[in-house]
Amino acid sequence: MSIDNSTVKKVAKLARLKVDAKEEQNLKNELNNILEWVDKLQKVDTENIDPMLSVSNEPMSMREDMVTSKLDNKQILSNAPEKKAGFFVVPKVVE
């Protein structure tokens, strides 16, 4: 796949970028270089490689959950502008 000038103009428009003719040529070259690199990556044989969840395969150290708050529900809700049944009342955000 190759990027042409019309594609660069379209991408620039979608990204709301002003691109002059000189920048357009540079962007075209850069985008084509990126696509070539992606093509090289797709040719790598990963058949017997297990997927990784992160770059580092070290396990995450877990800590024990410990309650540190000494406040009770009444104290926490004491400054709430509106509360109901032991909870904060907030405006509806999603319809």
Task: In whole angstroms, give the CA distance from residue 35 to residue 2.
Answer: 8
CA terminus-to-terminus distance, the chain: 42
The predicted pLDDT at position 93 comes to 84
Q: Burial code of 19-33, b = ≥16 C-beta within 10 A, e = fewer?
A: beeeeeeebbeebee
Please indicate whether residue 53 or residue 10 has the higher confidence score (pLDDT): 10
Is the confidence at residue 95, as pLDDT, over 70? no
Q: Token pair of 4, please?
A: 């042409």
Average pLDDT over residues 6-35: 92
The hierarchical CATH code for the domain 5-42 is 1.10.20
For residue 88, the SS3 value is: strand
- Among residues 92, 62, 86, which one has the least CA distance to residue 73? 86
The predicted pLDDT at position 50 comes to 83
Domain ranges across the chain: 5-42
pTM summary value: 0.49
Encode pLDDT of 22-72 as tens digits.
899 999 999 999 999 999 999 999 898 888 777 777 777 888 888 887 888
